[in-house]
Amino acid sequence: MRRRRKAPPSPLPQRDGIDPVRVRLPADPEGAWATVRDHLVARYADAIGAEQVDAMFQQGRFVSADGPVAADEPYGEGRYLWFHRDFAPEDRVPFEVGIIHRDERLVIADKPHFLATTPRGRHITETALARLRRELGLPQLQPAHRLDRLTAGLALFVVRPGDRGAYQTMFRDRLVRKEYEAVAAYDPAVRLPVTVRSRIVKERGVLAAREEPGEPNSESRIELLGHRAGLGRYRLSPATGRTHQLRVHMNSLGLPLLNDPLYPVVLQPGPDDYARPLQLLAKVLEFTDPVTGEPYRFESRLRLTAW
């Protein structure tokens, strides 16, 4: 079996904290692509169109490890190319990313509501990762996990690429104790504390996750910390990490989180209302550092505005 060779380092620097796109030219068993241009036009016809591909060639924006690539260069399987995407304008999320801890290995950030953790979809440059790379001068910074865009609080980023696997594995193997805080309606008929276990399914392209019968794949501990004026303040401790898990479990108790645009009812997407953030905060991260063996406990400095 032929081993795939490791990709060489990118000849292009980051732009606005965003890595260039890397393309590895695949096998062409039917001989459909005589030139590099033929493949890129076929590959990106729906996304940007042939005219834009040609314009990018003329501007020298497709490069290999040896320099700019010409449109008429013969196609070669396995070759690596890089280019920068054109980013659509993004409105700045009017909140700053706080820094809870920084050393030679880790950055523990306090991510605000409405800011995505990593580039995805229509949120590219306005993400915690891109901002931190730019503001801290750390172009190799990478996330070890991800918070939902609407959730605020603690996110762990890794400074050195070689360390990233150890921290990702720590999250994957549930070696991190996570504690969230939330505000929702108070209902004295809901007996707390309670541990909720259910099977959660999230389909690609569907905004909301759902619970269905079957073997549970999610578990959350839910406690009431206090209540006043019809609202409750809750501590949520997830044992697993399914998409929207805490939001789904609170909704299943009849206690949907305040300002949640998906549960119990999916609202029509619209501009972000910065005065009404989802009342969910990643409050605590606690773990033993997989690289040094040092115990850590971090607590967010953010507060939920509804409490």
Structure-block tokens of residue 207: 């905004």
Q: Is residue 14 part of a domain?
A: no
- The answer on 75 and 106 residing in a single domain is no
- The answer on 273 and 169 residing in a single domain is yes
Phi and psi (nearest 5°) for 286?
-135, 130
Total domains, the chain: 2
Q: Is residue 304 part of a domain?
A: no
Which H or E run includes 200?
strand 194-201
- The answer on 45 and 104 residing in a single domain is no
Please state, in angstroms and rounded to a whole number, the distance separating the CA atoms of residues 116 and 111.
8
- The answer on 140 and 33 residing in a single domain is no
What's the pTM value of the predicted model, to 2 decimals?
Answer: 0.90
Q: Is residue 2 part of a domain?
A: no
Q: Is residue 89 part of a domain?
A: no
Please state, in angstroms and rounded to a whole number, the distance separating the CA atoms of residues 18 and 125.
7
* Residues 6+ away with beta carbon under 8 Å from 268: none
Which H or E run includes 194?
strand 194-201
- The answer on 187 and 77 residing in a single domain is no
Please state, in angstroms and rounded to a whole number, the distance separating the CA atoms of residues 291 and 127.
27
- The answer on 187 and 65 residing in a single domain is no
Whether the CB-CB separation of 100 and 109 falls below 8 Å is answered with yes
Pick from 126, 96, 127, 123: nearest CA to 112: 96
Of 42, 58, 83, the one marking the end of a domain is 83
Residue 146 CA, chain-centre distance (Å), reads 4
* CATH label of the domain that carries residue 230: 3.30.2350.10
Query: What percent of the chain has pLDDT above 90?
Result: 91
Query: For residue 150, what are the domain limits?
Result: 98-299
Q: Is residue 266 part of a domain?
A: yes
- The answer on 210 and 160 residing in a single domain is yes
Q: Is residue 153 part of a domain?
A: yes
Across the strands, what pairs with 68?
63
| DSSP SS3 for 169 | helix
Please state, in angstroms and rounded to a whole number, the distance separating the CA atoms of residues 147 and 282.
8
- The answer on 127 and 54 residing in a single domain is no
Structure-block tokens of residue 205: 């392209």
Q: What is the pLDDT of residues 15-40, one digit of tens each?
A: 999 999 999 999 998 899 999 999 99
Of 37, 54, 83, the one marking the end of a domain is 83
Q: Is residue 92 part of a domain?
A: no
The CA distances from residue 179 to 247, 285, 293, in Å, are 14, 7, 21
CB half-sphere exposure, 69, CA atoms < 13 A: 27
Q: How confident is the model at residue 217, as a pLDDT?
A: 97
Q: How confident is the model at residue 242, as a pLDDT?
A: 94
- The answer on 187 and 78 residing in a single domain is no
| DSSP SS3 for 234 | strand
- The answer on 49 and 154 residing in a single domain is no
Whether the CB-CB separation of 37 and 54 falls below 8 Å is answered with yes
- Average confidence (pLDDT) over 224-239: 98
Sign of CA dihedral 229, 280, 116, 140: positive
The CA distances from residue 223 to 38, 87, 207, 219, 254, in Å, are 59, 43, 27, 13, 14
Residue 5's pLDDT band (cuts 50, 70, 90): low
Residue 4's pLDDT band (cuts 50, 70, 90): low
Task: Give the pairing of strands 280-288 and 152-158.
Answer: parallel
Q: What is the pLDDT of residues 233-268, one digit of tens each?
A: 999 999 999 999 999 999 999 999 999 999 999 998
Residue that has been written with the tokens 């898990």 in this structure: 245
pLDDT of 91 over the 80 cut: yes
- The answer on 175 and 236 residing in a single domain is yes
Q: Is residue 305 part of a domain?
A: no
- The answer on 56 and 160 residing in a single domain is no
Of 58, 83, 108, the one marking the end of a domain is 83
